[in-house]
Amino acid sequence: MKPGIYTLVLGLDTEREIAVGSLGRIFFPRGYYAYTGSARGPGGLKRVERHLEIQKGIRKTRRWHIDYLLPETRFQEAVITHTANDLECSIARKVGERLMPIPGFGCTDCSCVSHLHFSTELGEALHAVRQAHGQ
């Protein structure tokens, strides 16, 4: 598959506290979450499929922070930018200009505040993500 940067938009129906690997327990309010990740390796955007398999319970291995949140959520949309360029952090920062960050989530290998952002409104989340991807 082609390489790229993706943002998953996920819905969480009820607030809950979730253990997220090395981050420990995090409280997640009811609402919508936008997770930005990179898929520029040899498998390309196949990583998005892997995330959806985690969400559906097909895969059990937890490798990234998002893998702990996925099974608790509903998939809404994946917004993708096909590129070999390293745009993950810049897209995550643009999403964060409009949505509330979940500090430290998904950004252990960079200096970003977060790669996961929250909104109470689906429309607001989708608009922020699409705009960050230039769509």
> Pairing state of beta strands 74-82 and 100-101?
unpaired
Tens of pLDDT, residues 64-121: 999 999 999 999 999 999 999 999 999 999 999 999 999 999 999 999 999 999 999 9
Tens of pLDDT, residues 37-52: 999 988 889 999 999 9
DSSP lists the bridge partners of residue 111 as none
Q: Are 17 and 68 in contact (CB under 8 A)?
A: no
Single-letter code of the amino acid located at 33: Y
Q: What is the pLDDT of residue 87?
A: 97
